Structure 1
């Protein structure tokens, strides 16, 4: 028995994306050898396991023998898998109820695959690298997990006015699975929008993503607040996880306000820097003459380590910056580690004791020795104490001044630490 209409699929698929509506464009023809008239109502299009949209379908199609009509409707397949066009059906009704019965006509035999959407194949990672005065440097890493290579990928980034430095559009060809790609850009504003378009086996895929710019970490804020004149700093700085350990006690030293608090008098620490870049070749530290001395760098298990020795024993707190160079590929980046060298409480107590004795006539030599040489002369303290045994009341009063001297030194150190800048 001949079908009441002939269906020609004008845009046949090989692959379509699950969850997206795809248009079906067909031409239906009433054979000329037929003698009666048929009608195709829009509500009679059926596709099992799919959602049909007939907004573009005419309200009612009437076909005389030899007539041809173009029909378009939308189909959305929620699940992945193999399907055949034969399951798409169109009901054909007689124009006059008493002419013949209603008939169901299927599409031509053609298999197609419904595959996962691009959102399930692409994985994104958007992270913050560092901050400038009015912008943030970020890195966008993306990778696709589809079982087949992507023929082409086009990425468009917006808003363009928020991208101070970095790509606005980027093309990739023959992008293989599990191959990560990374892009760096300097942004102002609070988000980055990405429009991705790709072609796989002739099928177009599109996806839109928005990424909020990551907020600054507490450590980064503390480091920014600890330095006022940041416009004088070099811009090509490396950002590495840094850890400091007391060599003798093997205890980590906490990072406070962007700096490590250390003590002097030949005290030794272990400075460890994690390798944050797989292309890194070398790391070199620079000694701070008279203040910090470093040992040769050792690399083991992804960590660069050096031993640092604090050479001086300051009377007042002193800030020190330790510089190092990182060789990444063919470029060199500068790294910085900040230390606050704290005076030992015993040092200030000894100075106060010597100063109290120095207020006597013979104790003056001891005070000069402490200030000029940075050392404590036990003989000068002993001489001052011996003289006090036969000293006058004024000399005894001067000696007792060591308590307020010790307190004054603590206050001066506190004020000096607050207002001392890099």
Structure 2
């Protein structure tokens, strides 16, 4: 009989009425040793015990025979698969068993399985928010003409109806696929040019109704009184407002506007007959924001407008691992904040930026008295109380800090680095 090679030897554990134990070893010459319960001779027992003692390798193998292969095939088991699975050393199987049984524990003494990876995302490949915004502007949508034609249909069909419904005491709530910011802004330009209206950026991470109420009191009603609570501000607005006021809320379902107190303030404003609101939503569960009383105050009329526009402005305030977070959120925030402020507020902030970037100014700050005199000379403010109201808005957005020094002088510090201030100045220089 030809001696079987190691490559042809396999280990098979098989139980059958004819074969109880099948063992072969390289040292035994590749011969098959079989023990039958009924017809087992003493010689076979001796040979079987000898084979077990002489095994030198942990990997015991058996040359495949035709009968065994056919029986495995009849059971639907591949002989090669069975051979590979059964030929694994017990030490490896034991390790795998321990691994799955004690997965939360280290399988070795050094505890390497409990250690986390030190691999980090390469910082050098990240881009800034400004670079992302500029890149998105260069991207051309191949369906731009089709999208414009769809939006033009919305303008012709809905704009007159929205304006009529708002004058009748209802408020407009827009939903649908795509950013609705451009469509709403076109509505403001065509129908609200002769009215007071405020834009509220609900997707902004620092926005709140406190600033909205302050702006209504100071810019529309010209009330410079100090109100301690939002309820006092709302009462003052309801008592003194006697002209139409339109409030545009981009994403009333934004993260910073979802709390109960904010929605309560907005619903109280909506209950005023002179206040008209047009708002956009994108979250599927937006209707859960309002209870029955608030819905009655808002008097929403829903319109579906699938503009299919990209959410370029909205995503500027979302965190991404692929974007550099340092400083760029502040720059993007300043650009969007200035769009929602009055012209005087923009000019006041521009004075502070120019003064801080002045090379002669080593402290990178400006005193309150100096800022007040410069603003008064240019007729941006008429008294200190008005200036403080404007500065409070910048403080709420964490753009400046007002500090009283040891000598009693109030000093204003900008909380933005010089690099972003220069970029901000370049971007707004022609607009202010």
Q: For the superposition of Structure 1 and Structure 2, which TM-score range results when normalised by the shorter chain?
A: under 0.3
Write 1 or 2 for the structure with the bigger share of helix: 2
Instruction: Give TM-score, length-normalised by structure 1.
Output: 0.21
TM-score (norm 2): 0.21
Larger relative contact order (CA 8 Å, sep ≥ 6): 2
**Bigger share in strand:** 1
